[in-house]
Amino acid sequence: MTTHSARLDLFGNPAVTRMLGHFTAAGKAVSALNVPAATQELVKIRASQINGCGFCTDMHTKEAAAAGESAVRLALVAVWREATVFTEAERAALELAEQGTRIADAAGGVTDEAWEAAAKHYDEEQLVALVSLVAVINAFNRLNVMVRQPAGDYQPGQFG
């Protein structure tokens, strides 16, 4: 097993601590909005998989499992389109998360079809939450990928 350390110490550097405090505050504000916790974790996991963020994938799969999410659903997040274990609302949230994460790959960003599917299941406040959640997890993903934050050692509840 190859181990490596991160390029920056995200947990011991005062400048990073201040910056991450703002990211974390944004994440907590989003989490407090009325989107089911399971859906939020699925969205975070899928965006993290797309972005290749091992640390966030590790963190959010473990948090979801600790909250009672099934191993089957967690294993199938990456292939949610072919899986039968997600609700229509979760599927709409996952599509919105994918398109919002892959925004650079599509000149128009999120399609009208993806937006309309999400709007069938989520009210305006929940759409704000989902859009913000995708933005925040993408920011965390990019930070962790850029510094090569190692994955595998996260413990549920580690950050409170």
Burial class, 16, CB count within 10 angstroms (exposed 0-12 / middle 13-18 / buried 19+)? middle
Q: Is 95 exposed, middle or buried (0-12, 13-18, 19+ CB in 10 A)?
A: buried
Q: What is the pLDDT of residue 119?
A: 98
Q: Answer whether residue 78 is part of any domain.
A: yes
DSSP state of 105: G
Indicate whether 141 belongs to any domain: yes
Determine the angle formed by the axes of helices 124-146 and 37-51, rounding to 10 degrees: 40
Q: Residue 1: pLDDT band by 50, 70, 90 thresholds?
A: low
Give me the CATH number covering residue 110.
1.20.1290.10
Nearest to 59 by CA among 118, 115, 143: 143
Two structure tokens written together for 146: 């850029």
| 79 occurs within a structural domain | yes
Residue type, 136: V
* Number of domain units in the chain: 1
DSSP SS3 for 155: coil
Residue 12 lies in a domain: no
* pLDDT bracket for residue 2 (50, 70, 90): low
Q: Are 138 and 51 in contact (CB under 8 A)?
A: yes
How large a percentage of the chain has pLDDT more than 90?
73
Residue 118 lies in a domain: yes
Band (pLDDT 50/70/90 cuts) for residue 3 is low
More confident residue, 42 or 22: 42
Query: Which amino acid, 40?
Result: Q
What does the alpha-carbon distance between residue 160 and residue 152 come to, in Å, rounded to a whole number? Answer: 18
Question: How many CA atoms does the CB half-sphere of 3 hold within 13 Å?
Answer: 3
- At 88-130, the pLDDT tens digits run 999 999 999 999 999 988 777 899 999 999 999 999 999 999 9
Per residue in 5-38, pLDDT (tens digit) is 898 888 888 888 888 888 889 988 988 889 999 9
pLDDT at 74 over 80: yes
Q: Considering just the CA atoms, what is the radius of gyration of the chain in Å?
A: 16
Q: What 8-state DSSP symbol labels residue 79?
A: G
Instruction: Assess if residue 80 is contained within a domain.
Output: yes
Residue 105 lies in a domain: yes
pLDDT in tens, 130-150: 999 999 999 999 999 999 999
Q: What is the extent of the structural domain holding 108?
A: 36-146
In this prediction, residue 20 carries a pLDDT of: 86
